[in-house]
């Protein structure tokens, strides 16, 4: 009978230790979604009547963002509006489109369909080529109108 009490006490101690151990274990950190929208409301951005929109979601504290914004600004023309959607100035737009990492570049047509996108740093050449391909399909050798992800594929 004494052995039964000892076994029961050991099981109870082990169960208690396991419960306490689980409580102390930190939960896994939340993982970013890192998704981009496939459609936007052009009225959320400047010059909604322009044929093309290059929206750069950025943050003032991000040096890579500043570089991407500068590269994108060079694309501005009569037909292409470039809009820097800086987080502290347009937090509601970041939240609306669930942008949870920056920089993100969206190349958007007149109807608001995201035709190409880039997440993270991008070269000026890749950015120019993506906009050119979206504006005139077939202008790139690989004939694809997308950055890193094509929501239409």
Write the pLDDT tens digit of every residue in 82-132.
999 999 999 999 999 999 999 999 999 999 999 999 999 999 999 999 999
- Region of residue 84 (phi > 0: left; psi between -120 and 50: alpha; otherwise: beta): beta
Q: What is the pLDDT of residues 34-56, one digit of tens each?
A: 789 999 999 999 999 999 999 99
**Token pair for 46:** 């400047």
- Region of residue 139 (phi > 0: left; psi between -120 and 50: alpha; otherwise: beta): alpha
For the purposes of burial, counting CB atoms within 10 Å of the CB of 149, is it exposed (0-12), middle (13-18) or buried (19 or more)?
middle
pTM of the prediction?
Answer: 0.72
Any idea where the domains of the chain sit in the sequence? 42-135
pLDDT band (50, 70, 90) for residue 138? confident
Q: Calculate the alpha carbon distances from 91 to 31, 73, 97, 98, 147 in Å.
A: 20, 21, 10, 10, 24
Query: Whole-angstrom Cα distance, residue 101 to residue 35?
Result: 9
* Fold held by 42-135: Glutaredoxin (3.40.30)
Share of the chain above pLDDT 70, in %: 69
User: Of 111, 151, 116, which is closest to residue 137 (Cα–Cα)?
Assistant: 116
pLDDT band (50, 70, 90) for residue 139? confident
């Amino acid at each position: 009978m004494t052995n039964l009490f000892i076994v029961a006490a050991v099981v109870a101690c082990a169960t208690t230790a396991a419960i306490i151990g689980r409580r102390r274990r930190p939960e896994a950190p939340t993982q970013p979604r890192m998704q981009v929208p496939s459609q936007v409301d052009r009225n959320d951005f400047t010059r909604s009547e322009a044929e093309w929109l290059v929206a750069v979601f950025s943050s003032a504290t991000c040096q890579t963002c500043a570089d991407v914004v500068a590269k994108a600004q060079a694309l501005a023309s009569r037909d292409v509006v470039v809009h820097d959607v800086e987080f502290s100035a347009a937090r509601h737009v970041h939240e609306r489109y669930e942008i949870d990492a920056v920089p993100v570049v969206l190349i958007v047509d007149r109807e608001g369909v995201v035709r190409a996108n880039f997440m993270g740093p991008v070269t000026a050449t890749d950015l120019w080529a993506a906009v050119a391909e979206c504006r005139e399909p077939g202008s790139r050798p690989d004939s694809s109108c997308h950055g890193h992800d094509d929501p239409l594929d």
